[in-house]
């Protein structure tokens, strides 16, 4: 497999692992959520994920306008980041945080579905 795609997929898996861990710490009220490593590492991983994704798109000459799946994937990535921020930072109540966390995980599953199938609606039979 291509090295760039390997880095992209590895950073996607690390991003998910970190997001699941932070969600569990959020639900348990763990102080680990405040650790400097917990705050910095996800930004590094997500930056690698975004940069390698954009790099791949350029290299494969895939435009998000011509390729609807890529455009939808980008919108879903923004939604994942936004929901993640509500879940781990801005959500005011426990219910809002947990709901946003679960919604972000569903969006992540959608992103992987779109990435693998190149279809904007990966889970519907055609
Ligand atoms: C949460 C964020 C993301 C996740 C979980 C994710 C996941 C994946 C996965 C699993 C693949 C491999 C698909 C396969 O080979 O079967 C992939 C490929 C790819 N991703 Fe991402 N990705 C993310 C963000 C992005 C972003 C922001 C871009 C930017 C445009 C992007 C562009 C691409 C491209 C161009 C490919 C290669 C398509 C191909 O040739 O098959 N990804 N992604």
What average pLDDT does range 105-126 have in this prediction?
Answer: 93
Q: How many CA atoms lie within 13 A of 13 on its CB side?
A: 6
∠ CA(13), CA(37), CA(98), 5° rounding? 60
What are the residue ranges of helices labelled H in the chain? Answer: 3-28, 36-59, 68-85, 94-117
Contact 120, 69 (CB under 8 A): yes
Would the pLDDT of 59 be above 80?
yes
- How far is the centre of ligand 1, averaged over its atoms, from the C-alpha of 96 (Å)? 29
Q: Would residue 122 count as lying in a domain? A: no
Between CA 22 and CA 106 the distance in angstroms is 16
Between CA 22 and CA 38 the distance in angstroms is 8
Which domain covers residue 78, as residue numbers?
3-117
Q: Would residue 73 count as lying in a domain? A: yes
Look at the chain and report how many structural domains it folds into.
Answer: 1
Q: Would residue 126 count as lying in a domain? A: no
Any residues with CB less than 8 A from the CB of 113 and at least 6 apart, and which? Answer: 119, 122, 123
Q: What is the pLDDT of residue 110?
A: 98
Between CA 101 and CA 120 the distance in angstroms is 22
Q: Would residue 124 count as lying in a domain? A: no
Task: Tell me, using a 6 A CB cutoff, whether residue 8 lines ligand 1.
Answer: yes
Q: What is the pLDDT of residue 126?
A: 62
Note the pLDDT tens digit of each residue in 78-101. 999 999 999 999 999 999 999 999
Q: Would residue 67 count as lying in a domain? A: yes
Quick one: CA dihedral 24, 80, 96, 91, positive or negative?
Answer: positive
- How far is the centre of ligand 1, averaged over its atoms, from the C-alpha of 126 (Å)? 22
Note the pLDDT tens digit of each residue in 106-115. 999 999 999 9
Q: Would residue 106 count as lying in a domain? A: yes
Task: Tell me, using a 6 A CB cutoff, whether residue 114 lines ligand 1.
Answer: no
- How far is the centre of ligand 1, averaged over its atoms, from the C-alpha of 101 (Å)? 21
Q: Would residue 76 count as lying in a domain? A: yes
Of 24, 38, 23, 34, nearest to 84 (Cα)?
A: 23
- How far is the centre of ligand 1, averaged over its atoms, from the C-alpha of 124 (Å)? 20
Task: Tell me, using a 6 A CB cutoff, whether residue 65 lines ligand 1.
Answer: no
Q: Would residue 86 count as lying in a domain? A: yes
């Amino acid at each position: 497999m291509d090295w760039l795609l390997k880095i992209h997929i590895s950073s996607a898996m690390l991003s998910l692992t970190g997001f699941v861990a932070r969600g569990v710490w959020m639900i348990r009220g763990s102080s680990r959520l405040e650790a400097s490593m917990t705050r910095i590492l996800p930004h590094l991983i997500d930056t690698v994920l975004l940069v390698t994704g954009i790099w791949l798109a350029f290299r494969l000459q895939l435009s998000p306008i011509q390729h609807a799946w890529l455009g939808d994937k980008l919108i879903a990535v923004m939604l994942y980041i936004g929901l993640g921020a509500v879940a781990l930072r801005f959500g005011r109540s426990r219910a809002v945080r947990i709901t946003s966390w679960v919604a972000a995980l569903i969006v992540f599953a959608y992103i992987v579905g779109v990435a693998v199938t190149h279809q904007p609606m990966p889970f519907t039979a055609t």
